[in-house]
Structure 1
Amino acid sequence: MTTFIYGKVKRKHIFRIIETEEEVYNTSQLNLIGVDYNPATLIENEELYKVSQFSESGYSFDFINNDLNSVNYDQITRSDLTKLSFICTVQNNLFFFQIINSSIFISKKWFSIDELTLETEKPIITVNPFADAIYDKENDILYFKKLTAAQKIFKGMDQLYKEATASETNSFLQSDFLEVDSNFSNRNVSVPNRKRIALVMETLNSLSDTERQAVYSYTSQYSQVAFEGGKFKIETDDDLKFVLWGIEQRFYTTPIGGEKRVANSIISI
């Protein structure tokens, strides 16, 4: 099996770097089982997020959408190797993407264990043991651990987890179920809460008036925030966080012991 490594050069296109008969990644031990991406879901170290039907997501590009033929890509020049933004290793129908930054380049004096000669002026690029993103072309699924890394390769993916704008935050703080202290404004809203607001706005828009009232009642039973006259009193960013958790229905009571808790991560089943 031939493995190809390609590279995206900054402000240019994708080039062919090398081909080898060796496997770069051990695919026999690769367990591609992902959790559908949701910013409310926290994954464990051994888990992955996934975006299915990725070619139709709007974040994909021709390199993975089209049939790949190495002869259609120019060989990269030595000078362009220092301008790489990412590399992609292709093994069968799997595309392993790795972001290239300064920590990936090694430019030191070194000697090989096999050949005891001192080398200098020969910088190398290291390949990480696990890729920043893996695209399964056969099943049209993108896997990744961190959205912040994946969006450096697939531009626009940060919209999967956007934060509310100042205007949207202002609009939310003026909601009829909130009574916001005059000293608290959108400038006091933290980035995590802005991201929660973006999600909660979608949730509220999908609920009927009856369902909204049920959510507010449920939130008031758990939240530490005062709830009077159908309004939550918001004085701090923490107050806002508890209300947003409630709208996301993160609170629950343990069946044994009756302990009230808040879920740190949510997976729909």
Structure 2
Amino acid sequence: MTQGRSIRLFLVDGTPHGLLTAEIMNWTGHVLSGQRTKLSELVKRPECGRTGVYFLVGPDPDNSLRPLVYIGESDDVGMRLKQHNRPEEKGGKDFWEKACLVTSKDPNLTKAHVKYLESLLIQSAGEVGRCKLVNGTAHEYINLPESDRADMAFFLEQIRTILPVLGFDFLSEQRKTPSNEGPGEGGPESSPVFVMEIASHGVKARAQEVDGQFFVLSGSIAREKWVSEHTSYRALYEQLKEDGVLKVDESGKTRFSAEQAFSSPSAAAAIVSGRPANGRTSWCVEGSGQTYAAWQDQQVSAAAGED
């Protein structure tokens, strides 16, 4: 079981849409985030005068599923944010709606550190693929002693832990399922393997729930196209095809080329079937035929000490 973490959040002006600070116990890092509409208040904060990395986040007009993200570094983050707030024709950036900056509570974070950290963050965001980077190609920065590189690797992991809590999930990796170890061997945080079949269309998929995410396993066969007039998950279906997660194989079947995490069994069932579906009844435990809903109810009853 993964170790619990303590994160301290503080609403600077007492409102949920104002400035927000976040810290992790025993970590020297400090996170400050806020809407662009709050920029005049944000740049007055002492954190903005420190050395750090920052993220500018906004919607992508061409892709509603993934945000646009710019990752930068500066030894005066406040000054850099002011520059980015200028009109685009004057060197600013118009896409962003939120800003998030990460600094240190002590003076040990230097310009060399944040340049290296910026390169790690750009590389990581590109590999995860949950956003469209405005930066373009990451500049590799290796002019840092080995011990400092290890410190920045730890710093990066803390950033990846804390950002999703603030609503920024573009650095969140999909956790690999323990399917290669066989059902039930992934520890207490993994479920049995679930199957879903639509025999008339040759659809057969396998999935597993790990740490609250529902993973459809690589090799699963999905519907060859979206067939419903309901469009709730159509954009996601098309995006997975565009990303190459759903690929047509030599036999003409549409398969998952890699494990794919979904927010719920119903989201996964919709992509597999090419139409909205109730994942709680569509997915069944492999071997027993027990529905996901019945399996989950059994887990809840057991946890509550009921028969």
Same fold (TM over 0.5): no
Report the TM-score when normalising by structure 1.
Answer: 0.26
Report the TM-score when normalising by structure 2.
Answer: 0.24
Which structure has the larger Rg over C-alpha atoms?
A: 1
